[in-house]
Chain A
């Protein structure tokens, strides 16, 4: 990299004014270029004095000493990040499965209590059998029929079993 261009980016790095891409490039250059590190060190010294921060500064080989110490350390990996991702995936799958199950139940419920379904069920009940027919008086049959149909339309479950026994108006 051109020296002046690199130095200008160094100046911007000092001010946190580089995007990640350029920042990574400059830091990589600093790792491998002692002269550039020396310049960065001087820029830091200027800043310290202008801001009256005082104190002693690390020498330009400080990072090399830290690197040597880190090289003795095992490579760090972030297992918590991996576990966290796995937990997220499991949770997302569980939520999706729950929603799907709920959707199925809702659809079934709607179909179960829909007027169309009720009509089908009413139609499917064969009340012309002599036993059922004979067991009811006409007025009672009529009354119960009207009651049940209105109950179905309002979605009342409790009367479901009653359809099989009391509905007698297949012709309606």
Chain B
């Protein structure tokens, strides 16, 4: 379903609708920012590179023919932009080349922590503690649903099969789990 939405948005942008591109930015800004953060340690620099990525993508969209998924294409632009940025600043890219296939299987975890600035590391620790606590205090069915989604990466259909309930119930449980966690998180991220 996500690809169907992206295809429609891309078609609209290619017909001159800039608002549709805005929607694509909103949808993918977090993923792209985190991807670039793996290469560019400084947060502000990473956001500049992320912005540059989206501008490059906008300019290149007339030539996008949909031979790959939009996000795959955007992903490549982000990696190239990040590496170019590092080259221009005379920093060597990481010795282990992160190809797109490897990047998609990238676990993150302990390796990523070495890229975090002290500021963001602190924020992540505080947020992580609140989230973990909120997660543990969720009703069982909500905790199971969001755990299956976020830790195990299962789709709604798969979760429905595991939990023996309709897809609509899965969707509702995941939403209510996020809402419960969000109530604890909101004061920290105002």
Q: Within the assembled complex, what's the spacing in Å between the Cα atoms of A30 and B7?
A: 19
Q: A63 and B59 in contact (CB under 8 A), knowing A8-B171, A24-B23, A46-B178? A: no
Q: Which among B34, B146, B179 has the highest number of chain A CB atoms within 10 Å?
A: B34
- Assess whether A11 is interfacial by the CB under 8 Å rule: yes
A58–B18 touching, CB < 8 Å:
no
Q: A63 and B116 in contact (CB under 8 A), knowing A8-B175, A51-B108? A: no
Among the listed B5, B50, B58, B131, which residue makes an inter-chain contact with A70, where contact means beta carbons less than 8 Å apart?
B58
Q: Within the assembled complex, what's the spacing in Å between the Cα atoms of A48 and B16?
A: 33
B131–A67 touching, CB < 8 Å:
no
A48–B25 touching, CB < 8 Å:
no
Among the listed A19, A31, A52, A62, which residue makes an inter-chain contact with B33, where contact means beta carbons less than 8 Å apart?
A62
Q: Kindly state the interface size class of chain A when it binds its partner.
A: 35 or more
Q: Within the assembled complex, what's the spacing in Å between the Cα atoms of A30 and B23?
A: 8
Pick the interface stretch among A72-80, A85-93, A113-121, A141-149: A72-80
Map CB proximity to B onto A122-142 as digits: 1 under 8 Å, 0 otherwise. 000000000000000000000
Q: A8 and B172 in contact (CB under 8 A), knowing A55-B38, A65-B51, A71-B18? A: yes
Among the listed B61, B108, B178, which residue makes an inter-chain contact with A52, where contact means beta carbons less than 8 Å apart?
B108
Q: A48 and B58 in contact (CB under 8 A), knowing A39-B182, A55-B37? A: no
- Assess whether A49 is interfacial by the CB under 8 Å rule: yes
Among the listed A20, A40, A66, which residue makes an inter-chain contact with B54, where contact means beta carbons less than 8 Å apart?
A66
SS of B interface (majority):
helix
Q: A24 and B5 in contact (CB under 8 A), knowing A39-B182, A69-B55, A76-B16? A: yes
Chosen A-B contacts, 9 in total, with CB atoms closer than 8 Å, are: A43-B178, A45-B127, A52-B108, A55-B115, A58-B30, A66-B29, A75-B18, A76-B13, A77-B16
A→B interface (CB under 8 Å): 7-8, 11-13, 15-20, 23-24, 27-28, 30-31, 37-59, 62-63, 65-67, 69-71, 73, 75-81
Known pairs A20-B4, A41-B189, A46-B131. 18 more at Cβ < 8 A?
A: A15-B149, A15-B156, A17-B1, A20-B8, A30-B23, A39-B182, A44-B30, A50-B131, A50-B150, A51-B150, A55-B34, A55-B108, A55-B120, A62-B25, A62-B47, A67-B22, A75-B18, A77-B16
- Which 10 pairs across A and B sit closest by C-beta, in order of nearness? A16-B2, A27-B23, A78-B14, A23-B5, A55-B37, A56-B120, A11-B175, A50-B150, A54-B112, A44-B30
